[in-house]
Amino acid sequence: MNSPFTDLADLVVLRQQWREQGLSVVFTNGAFDLLHAGHVTYLQAARALGDLLIVGLNSDASVRGYKGPTRPIVPELQRGIVLAALRSVEYVTLFESLTAEPLVSALQPDIYVKGGDYAHPEQASNGKDLPEARIVLAYGGKVELIQYQAGLSTSNLIAKIRSE
């Protein structure tokens, strides 16, 4: 089985080429465990913001670090294969850290995207902290939050399965 992942070092080289070509790079990241319609809609909206979309996928160890010992449900290789098969996703890169700050620093995407359950650093919000945003704003990139679709979450899916 071929790996769906592109190494960060290779993406950094490609990023320079895309910059020279005037292409707008969008980046997002997450666990994408038990891919569902909310994920797909989110990724389509993110892709629509630029010329290509790179997805940073949290490794299994990284997901356990912030979601707990029972997650992810789906192993990283399988999550990567599913993400890479989506029409809206050009590249998937795997990362081990708890945040995507190292990827954002290295790639410097034109637009960094997260869901509306996060807090935009330039707006008053009760959302979750978005440490990557500080990096994006420091080099002049844009941060976009895509509306969170209530009820569509992996946690809700897991709860429903467990209650059956």
Greater confidence, 152 or 2? 2
Rounded average pLDDT over 54-64? 97
User: Domain extents for the chain?
Assistant: 8-163
Mean pLDDT within 144-162: 71
pLDDT for the residue numbered 156: 67
Residue 119 has pLDDT above 60, yes or no: no
Phi, psi dihedrals of residue 85, rounded to the nearest 5°: -80, -15
Distance, in Å, from the CA atom of 164 to the CA atom of 147, rounded to the nearest integer, reads 29
Vertex 91, ends 24 and 25: CA angle to 5°?
10
What phi and psi values does residue 128 have, to the nearest 5 degrees?
-70, 150
In this structure, what token pair is assigned to residue 43?
A: 């990724």
pTM of the predicted protein model? 0.90
pLDDT score at 154: 64
- pLDDT of 15 strictly over 80: yes
- Report the percent of the chain where pLDDT is more than 90: 71
Mean pLDDT for the chain overall: 89
CA distance 143 to 125: 14
* 3-class secondary structure, 38: helix
pLDDT digits (tens, 9 = 90+) for 82-94: 999 999 999 999 9
CB-based contacts of 114, cutoff 8 Å, min separation 6: 28, 29, 130, 132, 143, 145, 146
Quickly name the fold that domain 8-163 has: Rossmann fold (3.40.50)
Contacts of 130 (CB under 8 A, 6+ apart): 114, 118, 119, 120, 121, 143
Task: Identify the residue with better confidence: 117 or 145.
Answer: 145
Q: Which residue has the tokens 């895509």?
A: 146
